[in-house]
Amino acid sequence: MSKYSISAFIAGLIFSFGLLLSGMANPEKVLGFLDLFGAWDPSLALVMGGAIAVGLPLFTVAKKRATSVLGAPIQLPSKREIDRRLILGSLAFGIGWGLAGFCPGPGIVAAGALKSGAIVFALSMIAGMWIFYVLEKRKA
């Protein structure tokens, strides 16, 4: 097993634990956060704020480096313009998150815990990714 596989496994384990601990793998908690005009639960805003507080300085450092700590090339997104694809993808993501109460990471974690709604979400997400792949392949 390579150092990249081991580090990816450990990062995924920490990420999954954080999602479970913060409640982001619980669709009721997520939907409570999205319910701005009802029983709004602001606790996930603290989770997002914490993620930004950790990520922002690390991305600032990563922008100045060519390789990661393990020596792999750092590949940050270079596209900066807002286009139709970005807007439609963002809308699809937001609608899916609002309807299901899951975004991809927490959905996969909850599916791993064999929650039926999360399994349906994960299968639907995979189907959507496959449809996108087919449409992009036709375009090329």
The answer to whether residues 125 and 107 touch, using CB atoms and an 8 Å cutoff, is: yes
Q: Which of 124, 125, 118 is nearest to 101 (CA)?
A: 118
pLDDT for position 56: 95
> To 5 degrees, how large is the angle CA 52–CA 114–CA 102?
35
Question: 78-120: per-residue pLDDT in tens?
Answer: 888 999 989 998 998 888 888 888 888 889 988 988 999 999 9
Is 69 exposed, middle or buried (CB count within 10 Å of its CB: 0-12, 13-18, 19+)?
exposed
Question: 33-51: per-residue pLDDT in tens?
Answer: 888 888 888 888 888 899 8
Tokens matching residue 1: 């097993």
